[in-house]
Amino acid sequence: MNVSKELLPAGPSGEAPQETFILNLGPQHPATHGVLRIRTTMDGEWITRAEPIIGYIHRMHEKMGENRTWAKFLPNTGRIDYLSAMHYTHAFVGAVERAAKIEVPPRAEYVRVITSELNRIASHLVWWGALLLDLGGFTPILYSFEDRELILDLLEGLCGARLTFCYYRFGGLCNDVDAEFIDGTRALVKHMRPRLEMYRALVTGNIILRKRLEGIGPITAEMCRKYGATGPVIRGAGVAYDVRTVEPYSVYPQFDFKIPTYPEADSMARYHVRMDEMEQSLRIIEQALDQLPDGPVMGKVPRVLKLPVGDTTYAVEAARGRFMVRIVSDGKDTPYRLKLRTPCFSNLSLFEEASKGMMLPDALAMLGSLDLVIPDIDR
């Protein structure tokens, strides 16, 4: 943490100069969860301005996508938001399938939903443990990572990866699920429900947590719309915007689930949204397992994939909000243009306005409630 003092000049009406100092959070700092730099202008412990400075790990995913075949870009998608890799791969294969009019077998779509929701729970568990660690509580992250390991064991059995999953393929999946996965997933659902109740008893009602989050970092629905914030951030402002229902994709319309919203618009509201989302993900997984059809998991895909000339988009509800892939094809075996609309970039953009006038510890609590993944911002 670098500190440098700066003396502002006297104002135009001759009032006494105000002493402030510049404090750099990051780019290497535990509270930023990655190489993010926030240049804060402080008046004592109060923030007068917090300017996010990004680009420290920019990897040019969009340009890389324009220099690779459609299939060769697939592994990149799991490295944009490494905690939500299934959703990101889903968006890319969905865009290609929509453009090429590739039909995906029903069984593959159901498995995509199951694995995506498992990934959502695993991602929220990381957020839950990390947020509480930022606020000074060490024990919860041990519980959250213990439960997350159970999910990673299941997903590793499908694709061999535990983080940057690349399980989906154009037209379906790389391989089918087996009885061991299905039984293990049902066991996980039974295990997680009482664990979420335990999380509530251990943490959610804790007066220390409530004092750190309730009324802290208000982000209104108007501010969310202004900056394009989505996911738990806008749902924590009382807006039931979820791509799974407003822009239905895959087989999500087949399932009965709720979109958690809280009107308080503070950090605690965003906390509650994610905790409720884990319950709803378990509900979706259970329904998908009960309805899982038989059949193949791969459709017919040309050996050499060349998309017709055109402009196609496909959006999914990732763990942090709306992720959209836009591909422009000129008829070749590589994209002419690839655009990735990531949720964390928009969710971070509002931080400068939302944190103005806050105390530094409260601003860090709000930053944790945004659940940022920095490679998702830099791309």
Residue 79, domain CATH: 1.10.645.10
Residue with tokens 């959610």: 204
In a domain, residue 70? The reply is yes
Cis previous bond, 27, omega within 30: yes
Q: Which residues pair with 21 in a beta bridge?
A: 5, 42
In a domain, residue 225? The reply is no
| Same domain, residue pair 167 and 290 | yes
User: Where does residue 300 fall: left (phi above 0), alpha (psi -120 to 50 degrees), or beta otherwise?
Assistant: beta
Write the single-letter amino acid at 199.
Answer: Y
Q: Could you give phi then psi for residue 19, rounded to 5 degrees?
A: -90, 125
| Same domain, residue pair 6 and 131 | no
Please say whether the beta carbons of 167 and 86 come within 8 A: yes
In a domain, residue 239? The reply is no
Residue 321's contacts (CB-CB under 8 Å, 6 or more residues apart) are: 229, 230, 231, 232, 233, 234, 343, 344, 346, 347
Write the single-letter amino acid at 370.
Answer: L
How remote is the C-alpha of 21 from its chain's centroid? 33
Compute the C-alpha angle 227/251/315, nearest 5°. Answer: 25
Please say whether the beta carbons of 252 and 244 come within 8 A: yes
| Same domain, residue pair 35 and 74 | no
CA 15, CA 322: separation in Å to the nearest integer? Answer: 47
| Same domain, residue pair 12 and 140 | no
- Which contiguous run of DSSP H or E holds residue 312? strand 310-318
The DSSP letter of residue 47 is E
CA 126, CA 134: separation in Å to the nearest integer? Answer: 12
pLDDT of 312 reads 95
| Same domain, residue pair 35 and 77 | no
Please say whether the beta carbons of 172 and 105 come within 8 A: yes
CA 48, CA 75: separation in Å to the nearest integer? Answer: 41
| Same domain, residue pair 15 and 88 | no
pTM as predicted: 0.92
The DSSP letter of residue 362 is H
pLDDT of 9 reads 46
In a domain, residue 241? The reply is no
In a domain, residue 369? The reply is yes
Nearest CA among 204, 24, 195, 81 for reference residue 132: 204
| Same domain, residue pair 42 and 93 | no
How remote is the C-alpha of 27 from its chain's centroid? 21
CA torsion 78-166-335-96 (nearest 10°) is -110
pLDDT of 8 reads 46
Count of CB atoms situated within 10 Å of the CB of 259? 17
| pLDDT tens for the chain, residues 1 to 379 | 444 344 444 344 545 446 889 999 878 877 777 888 999 999 988 999 999 999 888 889 999 999 999 999 999 999 999 999 999 999 999 999 999 999 999 999 999 999 999 999 999 999 999 999 989 889 999 999 999 999 999 999 999 999 999 999 999 999 999 999 999 999 999 999 999 999 999 999 899 999 999 999 999 999 999 999 999 999 999 999 999 999 999 999 999 999 999 999 999 999 999 999 999 999 999 999 999 999 999 999 988 899 999 999 999 999 999 999 999 999 989 999 999 999 999 999 999 999 999 999 999 999 999 999 999 998 8
CA 56, CA 379: separation in Å to the nearest integer? Answer: 10
Question: What is the count of structural domains for the chain?
Answer: 2
| Same domain, residue pair 45 and 163 | no
In a domain, residue 212? The reply is yes
For residue 17, the enclosing domain spans: 2-53
Q: Which of 33, 53, 73 is the last residue of a domain?
A: 53
In a domain, residue 18? The reply is yes
In a domain, residue 224? The reply is no
pLDDT of 14 reads 47
| Same domain, residue pair 10 and 142 | no
pLDDT of 18 reads 66
> What's the token pair of residue 246?
């407003």
| Same domain, residue pair 126 and 207 | yes
| Same domain, residue pair 161 and 31 | no
Please say whether the beta carbons of 38 and 50 come within 8 A: yes
Please say whether the beta carbons of 349 and 225 come within 8 A: no
Please say whether the beta carbons of 93 and 172 come within 8 A: no
pLDDT of 29 reads 77
pLDDT of 32 reads 76
pLDDT of 27 reads 84
| Same domain, residue pair 20 and 152 | no
